[in-house]
Amino acid sequence: MSGEGRDGDGACGDGARGGSGSGGSAREDEPHGGEATGKAREEQPPVPRGRLIAVVGPSGVGKDSVIAGLVAARPDLHRVRRVITRPEGAGGEPFDAVTPERFAQLRDTGRLALWWEAHGYCYGLPARMAAVLQAGGDAVANLSRAALPEAAARFRPLVVLALDADPARLAERLAGRGREDAAAIAGRLSRRAPPPVLAPALAQADAVIALSNDGALGETVAAALAALFPETAGAA
């Protein structure tokens, strides 16, 4: 990773990366193995793959809030529980709090599908999420924008839900959330600008849903649901 105000000293591994262990990739774990040929290939239906829905955007934009609204409306949607080197009880999303040493162990033993560094913490998505996708279920996760290129390389279909909001609202919301002190909030606000890798990563995604979360949360969640599940949009 590079860019002003961004981390990138490799404290969590080699930049935003994906794991290489078994179960770490929805692509690598082909359930049928080997190459189907001729008639056999014709007769085999495509292996169902759920979508990884990556929710991205600057800190405070409402990623976790929108994810909570999505899973409340769609209990069949799997919310990926992240592994973070943040102290337990920090508030916000439910996550697995680990020490940096434990994070490195999980990463080095193939138990993380994707990881990145932001705000002085290491974040990872557990490799076991691949099982949900392979079974055809959709999974939703809060991702760093810097992790999208690796996500696009490893998870298909990849749907990016890109949220944005006015900078003044981000500041208000981070202050109102009360999880960080003023210095940490300033650091988060300094990362609002998209990293250079974002545009090419969005171009690689199977679908991009760009929404403003300047308005009411319920409106953003409704718009996201309609875009993600058009077949049920408007249903009671």
Ligand X SMILES: Nc1ncnc2c1ncn2[C@@H]1O[C@H](COP(=O)(O)OP(=O)(O)OP(=O)(O)O)[C@@H](O)[C@H]1O
Residues in the site for ligand X, rule: CB under 6 A? 57, 59-65, 92, 142, 173, 176-177, 213, 216-217, 220
Q: Which tokens hold the place of 53?
A: 């829905």
Instruction: Point out which span in 35-43, 45-53, 114-122, 228-236 binds ligand RI2 (CB under 6 A).
Output: 114-122
What is the smallest separation between the CB atom of 151 and ligand X, expressed in angstroms? Answer: 16
DSSP letters for 66-102 = HHHHHHHH-TTSEEPPPEESS-TT--SS--EE--HHH
Is residue 162 a contact residue for ligand RI2 (CB under 6 A)?
Answer: no
Other CB atoms within 10 Å distance of the CB of residue 49: 17
* Residue number, 146 or 211, with CB nearest to ligand RI2: 146
Q: Tell me the C-alpha distance between 34 and 70, whole Å.
A: 37
Instruction: Point out which span in 19-27, 39-47, 118-126, 219-227 binds ligand RI2 (CB under 6 A).
Output: 118-126
- CA torsion sign for 221, 216, 213, 96 is negative
Q: Tell me the C-alpha distance between 210 and 56, whole Å.
A: 10
What is the smallest separation between the CB atom of 176 and ligand X, expressed in angstroms? Answer: 5
Residue 212 CB partners (closer than 8 Å, separation 6+): 163, 164, 165, 220
Q: Which tokens hold the place of 91?
A: 């508030």
Compute the C-alpha angle 136/142/143, nearest 5°.
100
* Residue number, 119 or 156, with CB nearest to ligand RI2: 119
Please check if 59 is assigned to a binding site. Answer: yes
Decide which of ligand RI2, ligand X, none touches 62; Cβ closer than 5 to 8 Å per partner kind.
ligand X
Q: Which of 65, 85, 134, 142 binds ligand RI2 (CB under 6 A)?
A: 142
Phi, psi of 79 (to 5 degrees): -90, 120
Identify the DSSP state of 116. E
Instruction: Point out which span in 54-62, 106-114, 201-209, 218-226 binds ligand RI2 (CB under 6 A).
Output: 54-62
What is the smallest separation between the CB atom of 85 and ligand X, expressed in angstroms? Answer: 14
What is the smallest separation between the CB atom of 33 and ligand RI2, expressed in angstroms? Answer: 34
Residues 169-188 within binding reach of ligand RI2 (CB under 6 A) = none
Please check if 55 is assigned to a binding site. Answer: no
Is residue 123 a contact residue for ligand RI2 (CB under 6 A)?
Answer: yes
What is the smallest separation between the CB atom of 232 and ligand X, expressed in angstroms? Answer: 22
Q: Which tokens hold the place of 200?
A: 């090419």
Please check if 194 is assigned to a binding site. Answer: no
* Residue number, 51 or 188, with CB nearest to ligand RI2: 188
Phi, psi of 112 (to 5 degrees): -120, 135
Q: Contact at 8 Å (CB) between 148 and 202?
A: yes
Can you give the binding site for ligand RI2, defined by CB under 6 A? 56, 58-59, 118-119, 121, 123, 142, 144-146, 191
